[in-house]
Structure 1
Amino acid sequence: MGNVFEKPFETARELLDYVSPLNPVWDKGQYIFRGQPSDSYKLTPSVCRRGEGSFAYGSPRRVFDETSSGQVSFEFEVLKRFLLGCDRSGLVLPGYTEQVKRELSEQYYYLNYFETGKPWPPAQLYEIMAVAQHYDVPTRLLDWTERSFVACYFAAAGANLEIDTMTMPRIAIWALDITFADFWETVSLIRTPGGTSRNQAAQSGLFTTHNIATYDVADVYTPEALEDVDEIYTITARPRPLIKMTLPISEAPDLLDLCSKLGVDGSTLFPGFHGVAKMVRDWANVEVGVRHSQSALDDYHADYNEPD
């Protein structure tokens, strides 16, 4: 397995200067970006995660079925329930045709995927999964953006700003070189049409997905992490195919403020009233976070007798 290149920053402005598209470092590859609220999080799709806080955590299906076939069946069921809700609500869904609806029947699925071992997920479901993902339905897709400042926003907006310990967690912005993505076999790069989702278009969004090629009823499923996939390091001529940039969580309020000044906030990334409301909530969270962060910093300096 290759090594992730890690680059820490101490201030929001330093980070933004580095990730700026004007920085010539990004001319050395074709990079996409992802923001995460903690540098301890792996690049694992949401529906694949296990443990406390994960989707459907504690349900018998997740507790007692830990095989790869069980994982695919679970993802299949989540997607079917999303489509059922869209049908009941009369919602038009990109990529959802009568043929796809027929192919998602239980009998068709088991005959054509489970028994033949076709890779999951199939390409004809990408648009449907993209819409589900943008409305918080967990899928095997991992969100990325072509705009580094958008990734910074999501890292800062998702962080828990009410710091109550001085372990000093950090937020993370990942950069992935996709120059040779066409040659990857385990990971697929997905660019659905802009009309698939207004949110996706506003965010310059795209996805990666980690394909499952075999569904064994006797194995133990291990959640995939993109940074552990050898091919993103070996099928490349670039020295740094995956970069992880980190920033103290105490800098998240400043990062959100600077992103807003650059025109990147909830109102521009989520078109409509929902996005405007998100912008207001981000502002409120920052106000609370600054107060708690300063209090935590003061306690830290007092405990260690360090000057401010």
Structure 2
Amino acid sequence: MSQSEYIKEIPIGSYDNLVNIIQGKTDLCKDLREKFIFRGLENDIYELAPSALRKGNKLNDFVDEDFKLNLVLPHEKAVEYGFAKKEDEYDGVKDFTVNKYGQLIDGESKDYAESWEEFQCVKELNALMKFLSYADKVGLKVPANQKVRQLLEHNFHNIFNSENGIWPEEDFYELMALAQHYGIPTRVLDWSYDYRVSLYFALKNILDDNYLTSKRPENGVLWAFNYKYFNPCYVLETKSYCTTHYRPEYNSNPNLNAQKGLFTFMIKRVWEDASQPYDEFIEEFLNEYNQSGRKIPKTEKAFYKFIIPEDEKPNILKELYSEGYSEEYLFPGYSGVSQTIKNRIKLTKLIINLRLDKRHTLK
């Protein structure tokens, strides 16, 4: 079991056990529902990483094949990225044209980046603006202010070329939240105010068609994050940026409303590496800035990590269904109703089969 000053890992034995812990009915922690938000992961090997920054992410699926960019690099960085040899030293900087995969190609581009990290930001913005453009053209409501909308007709790549450029900027929060919810890879992490909603997403893999015939994943995880500790005044009072949270408009997104969703953003300057898992990033921040006297109270943690045994997933999901946390409520509409009918039958069959397997094993 991994423990730290800021993260407490707690294995749970049952649904009731988990509920009692979260509601502060044990001596493990206080009631978490007021200060914490929650995120569920199907497998405990998964990191707290946003979709655009995960290993093997699908961002390139949303970037055009003819995308190209000039990487403007000093010799040291060019060698590090494999674009130049150590012995071919040059003064100043040199342009290297790359495609969306980061491969060297012939030709030049009017757009440029000064680091691999900025190249990643440009690709994220490219996919985001295409989402805005296509949705807007067919008359869908897209939350974007005039500053963002103007980028549709201008060279939006070079908005990053400023000395103190950060990503994401506040003007993009609402747009990123919507795009993330509909499958566009972004660097936001989605959470819920309601731990039962997040718990559902940590369990739903057992409803996959091939669950019983394929190798089962390991234990699930329910993360709880002490988001109220990281208020904007605290994280921006230093010259370094940290994190912020954002609740998008619920009125235009019934799924998000039903799931009580909100998002966290890891705020970075465009040349800074953002691939670090969110929990490690927060730990590093606290280790550095708690030296200034701003400490989390000893009775609190930045994170709680609840480990959900694989064998308990069907039983816990059954409890959630009984309390109304099923697809017809989490995904309002006809498709949610259809899905819950199918999934309830799947779950019943799964529980019966697991009981039969257990009896056979005992014999």
TM tier, smaller: 0.7 to 0.9
Structure 1: state its 5+ residue gaps: 302-306
Identical aligned pairs, as a percentage?
22
1:47 aligns with 2:60: no
Q: Matched residue of 1:25: which SS?
A: coil
| Partner Cα separation in structure 2 for residue 88 and residue 28 of structure 1 | 41
Question: Which deviates further from its counterpart, 112-121 or 70-79?
Answer: 112-121
Per-residue deviation, residues 46-105 of structure 1 (Å, max 9, x unmatched):
111123xx3147996246499211210111111012112202321011x22443211355
Partner of 1:223: 275
In structure 2, relative to structure 1, the CA distance for the partners of 1:289 and 1:62 (3 Å cut) is farther
Moved more, 225-234 or 185-194: 225-234
Distance 1:168 1:208, change over 3 A: closer
Q: Which has the larger radius of gyration?
A: 2
**Structure 2: how far apart are the matches of 1:138 and 1:19?**
31
Report whether the alignment pairs 1:107 with 2:167: no
Match of 2:82 in 1: none
Q: What is the letter of the counterpart of residue 30 of structure 2?
A: V
Richer in helix (by share): 1
334, 337, 344: which one aligns with 1:273:
334
SS in structure 1 of the partner of residue 312 of structure 2: helix
Asked whether the 8 Å contact 2:194–2:260 carries over to 1, the reply is yes
Q: Which letter maps to 2:337?
A: V
CA distance in 1, matches of 2:102, 2:357: 37
1:10-159 alignment to 2 at 5 Å? 10-20=13-23, 25-26=30-31, 30-51=35-56, 54-56=57-59, 61-62=100-101, 64=103, 67-93=116-142, 95-103=143-151, 107-110=155-158, 112-159=159-206
Q: CA deviation at 1:170?
A: 0.3
Structure 2: how far apart are the matches of 1:212 and 1:18? Answer: 34
Q: 2:247·2:263 contact (CA, 8 Å) conserved in 1?
A: yes
Alpha-carbon spacing, 1:62–1:297, altered in 2? closer, same or farther (3 Å): farther
* Inter-CA distance 243–87: structure 2 relative to 1 (3 Å threshold): same
Instruction: Please point out which of 183, 194, 219 is paired with 2:250.
Output: 194
Measured in 2, the distance between the counterparts of 1:281 and 1:117 equals 51
Q: CA distance change for structure 1 residues 279 and 138 in 2, over 3 Å: closer, same or farther?
A: farther
Task: Provide the rounded CA distance (Å) in 2 between the counterparts of 1:232 and 1:267.
Answer: 40
Q: TM-score, normalised by structure 1?
A: 0.82
Q: Is the 8 A contact 1:164 1:292 kept in 2?
A: no
1:169 aligns with 2:236: no
Structure 2 gaps, min length 5: 66-98, 105-114, 236-240
1:7 pairs with 7, 10, 18, which one? 10
CA change 1:64–1:297 in 2 (3 A) is: farther
Q: TM-score, normalised by structure 2?
A: 0.70
2:301 to 223, 240, 247: 240
Alpha carbons of 1:194 and 1:167: their partners in 2 closer, same or farther (altered >3 Å)?
closer
Alignment CA distance shift 1:26-1:118 (3 Å): same
Partner of 1:178: 227
Aligned residues: CA RMSD: 3.2
Q: 1:28 to 1:49 in 2, by over 3 A?
A: closer
Count matched residues: 294
SS at match of 2:119: helix
Cα–Cα, structure 1 residues 237 and 17, in superposed 2: closer, same or farther, change >3 Å?
A: closer
Which structure has more RCO (C-alpha within 8 Å, separation ≥ 6)? 1
Single out whichever of 118-127 and 184-193 deviates more from structure 2: 184-193
Provide closer, same or farther for how the CA distance between residues 261 and 20 of structure 1 changes in structure 2, counting only shifts above 3 A: farther
| CA drift at 1:149 | 1.0
1:125-155, Cα deviation, whole Å (9 max, x unpaired): 1111111122222211111111111111111
